[in-house]
Structures are given as C-alpha cells and as structure tokens.
Amino acid sequence: MDRQVKMIQARVRQLMNGEVAQQLQNAGYSYRKLYGVSLVHLRQLSQEFKPSNEIAERLWFMNIREMMILATMIAERDTLTDEKLSEWADGITNIELAEQVAFNLLGKRQSSLKILEKWILHPQVFVRYAALMSIGWQYRFAGEGLSAFLQDNLSTIEALAGDNRLVRAVAHCLKMAGRFDKKFQPKVVGLARKWIASDMNHLKQAGEEILFEIEAAG
C-alpha cells in the first residue's frame, strides 16, 4: 500500500500545473497542498489502480486536493461504510470536492439513503451540497425508488434552496427527480413554478432551469 500511495503521489507531481494551482489558491481553496491537476487527468490516473478503500482512506486524509479527489475515484463505493463516510465529511470544504464525492461515491452507491438524510442536515454547507447533488445522481444512475425519501425530505430541500450557496445543488436534485420519477414530477413542477413567481432571483433561475430540464426531457 505504501508503494502504491507513493506511486500515486509521484504521478500527481508529474501532472502538476502551477498556473492552475495558483488560480485555485487565489480562489480560496484551502488544502495543505494542491498541484492544479485537471479532473480529466485525475480520472485517467485513477483507472491505473484497483479500487481500494484502504488506499482511498490514506489519500483522503492527506488533505491534498488531488489525493482527496482520487480517493473518491479509487474507493470501492458499495463497501465504503456510512461510518467511514461520516469520518470523511469534515474534509468536504468546497464545491469541487462536494461534487466529486457526490458523482463518484454517494450518487452511485447502494444503500445511501441513511447517510444522505443525515448529510442534508449537516452543519457544514458543503456536506449538505454533496448530499443534494448525490440525490440527483442517485436518480440518474439508479432510476426510480427515491420517491418516499424525497417526499419525506421535500420541505427540508425547499428550505435549503433559500441558501444561495446550495441552490445549484437543490436544482440538480429536483431536475433529476422530475426527469426520472414520473410519480414525483408534478410536485417538482409545482415547486419550480412557485419559485419562478418568487422575487428572489436565485430561486427564479432555479425554477426556470428545473422546468426547462423536465420539458426538454419530455
């Protein structure tokens, strides 16, 4: 394992982009270190290694941007427990990492509902963001089956949309629900229309995006 982790570190250093790294630092990304490696290159690199929760765990807690993103790609998502993911939660400190956790792990993981229900109420905003994005990806990759969960948590999700930092993730969650869950679609459409009539610009825009997505999908 030590040899593999060192190999990953060496490959990441080879792919370093100093200009991008500086841009990320200027944007306020807070890591112990970052190398500015693109997500495309990280995805390609992750495919060189077998899925491993042990390696993913080591990478995550390095607090290095590229290692943490790779951790979400290398982890065996269906055997990574809720308890372990809860330990990872404090490290989700920006939108990029929240989206990688959502797309690579929770959005495709079996039996994620319990942790998603906890995370949408998490004190850290980017953990809530990850949970909302994950619900959307669950619909995209797992199909219907979240109706009861979304019904139970719809008032919470609607309230979270009031936070401008979360509205993009809320919109993604509801767009996917409206597209892939025909039973729940009328409630999503009703909420979108309510937001379009709002005097809050971020809600109005979210409502328009949701309706456009549903109508475009037919």
Residue that terminates a domain, selected from 22, 47, 76: 76
40 and 13 both lie in a single domain: yes
131 and 48 both lie in a single domain: no
Q: For residues 132 and 160, what is the distance between their CA atoms, to the nearest angstrom?
A: 9
HEC readout, 157-185? HHHHCCCCCCHHHHHHHHHHHHHHCCCCH
Counting Cα atoms < 13 Å in the Cβ hemisphere of 201 gives 0
Residue that terminates a domain, selected from 29, 44, 76: 76
155 and 91 both lie in a single domain: yes
67 and 171 both lie in a single domain: no
102 and 151 both lie in a single domain: yes
37 and 89 both lie in a single domain: no
64 and 163 both lie in a single domain: no
| pTM flag (> 0.85) | yes
Amino acid at 168: R
HEC readout, 99-145? HHHHHHHHCCCCCCHHHHHHHCCCCCHHHHHHHHHHHHHHHHHHCCC
Largest CA distance in the chain: 57
176 and 90 both lie in a single domain: yes
Mean pLDDT per 10-residue run, the chain (218 residues)? 92 94 91 95 95 96 97 96 95 97 93 92 97 94 79 94 96 94 92 95 95 89
Are the C-beta atoms of residues 20 and 74 closer than 8 Å to each other? Answer: no
pLDDT of residue 144: 57
End-to-end Cα distance, the chain: 48
Question: Would you list the DSSP string of 50-77?
Answer: ---HHHHHHHHTT-BHHHHHHHHHHS-T
160 and 102 both lie in a single domain: yes
DSSP lists the bridge partners of residue 33 as 64
pLDDT of residue 203: 96
Domain coverage including residue 147: 85-218
Are the C-beta atoms of residues 135 and 150 closer than 8 Å to each other? Answer: yes
pLDDT of residue 138: 93
Tokens of 188: 């999503």
Tokens of 63: 């607090």
pLDDT of residue 218: 76
Q: Phi/psi zone of residue 190: left (φ > 0), alpha (ψ -120 to 50 degrees), beta?
A: alpha
pLDDT of residue 154: 93
Number of domains in the chain: 2
pLDDT of residue 143: 64
